[in-house]
Amino acid sequence: MQKIDAHQHFWVFDPVRDSWITDDMSAIQKNFLPQELKYVLHENGMDGCVAVQADQSEEQNSFLLGLTEGNDFIKGIVGWVDLRAENIEDRLAYYSHTKLMKGFRHVLQGEANRALMLEPDFMRGISLLNKYGFTYDILIFPDQLKYAEKLVRQFPDQKFVLDHIAKPYIKDGKIDTWAAEIDLLARQENVWCKVSGMVTEADWHNWTNDTFKRYLDVVFNAFGPNKLMFGSDWPVCLIAGQYAQVKGILSDYCAALSPSEQNAIFGGNAITFYNL
């Protein structure tokens, strides 16, 4: 079974476009391209990755798809389209001819309208994804979990995956409301979850593997090992830890699981979900 990192990013750093990368994130205020990740993946026993959009533009899609040429370890792309556009079906039809475009996401966590995903024009875009074989990555903060649960119930045949376990407030130690809403979301059979993005929600300079145990307990109990997938969130993770440290959090937690369950989490589930 191939080992797949289900969530990472590439970019040529632009201080205007990438203004979300603030000065306290200076470690990632630079370019991150395939040659560097190829080495990191190999060093950590990983065979491939899924590259996820970091900018909401179709130019980003072209950039990511271009990077796949000569880099066959990039197994799939999660891009961006304007799901609210009148011509959304034309855009989906266009990308359906691109073998490595596997799905899309929108940076819902950054929207002033916290329930944007439930607006009719957004849901119309979501309703068309399955027709063209596309997945959808849900990128939200905990306050939006209740809206995500309503969204996924509307489209039982659509494959959804929750990014970064919905970014719980790990630094503040908050868990109860998030945990209850994760449990509700996970009851929908069409929803999977990426175990990713945790270190950047913790105290960047003061965490141990144990910091994440109770959050991992929640997602493992809710989704089970057949609906979870490892994602490094490289290079964003570098703000708070090296790739090996991030992978080590989940490797240690999964040590008691069967080999088949570990293989699923570290590759098999991503291959199934994204049809890699």
Q: Residues of 96-126 as b/e, b for ≥16 C-beta within 10 angstroms?
A: eeeebbbbbbbebbeeeeeebbeeeebbebb
pLDDT for 137 equals: 98
Q: For residues 22 and 127, give the distance between their C-alpha atoms in angstroms, rounded to a whole number.
A: 35
Break the chain into its structural domains and give their ranges: 4-274
CA distances from 5 to 135, 188, 210 (A): 17, 24, 22
Whether the model clears a pTM of 0.85, i.e. scores above it, the answer is yes
Nearest to 154 by CA among 127, 119, 183: 127
Report the alpha-carbon distance of residue 274 to residue 270 in Å, rounded: 6
Cβ–Cβ under 8 Å, residues 51 and 76: yes
Q: What pLDDT score was predicted for residue 1? A: 85
Query: What mean pLDDT is reported for the chain?
Result: 97
What residues of the chain score a pLDDT lower than 50?
none
In CATH terms, the fold of domain 4-274 is TIM Barrel (3.20.20)
Distance between CA atoms of residues 197 and 263, nearest Å: 20
At residue 247, the pLDDT reads 98
Residue 197: its pLDDT value, please? 97
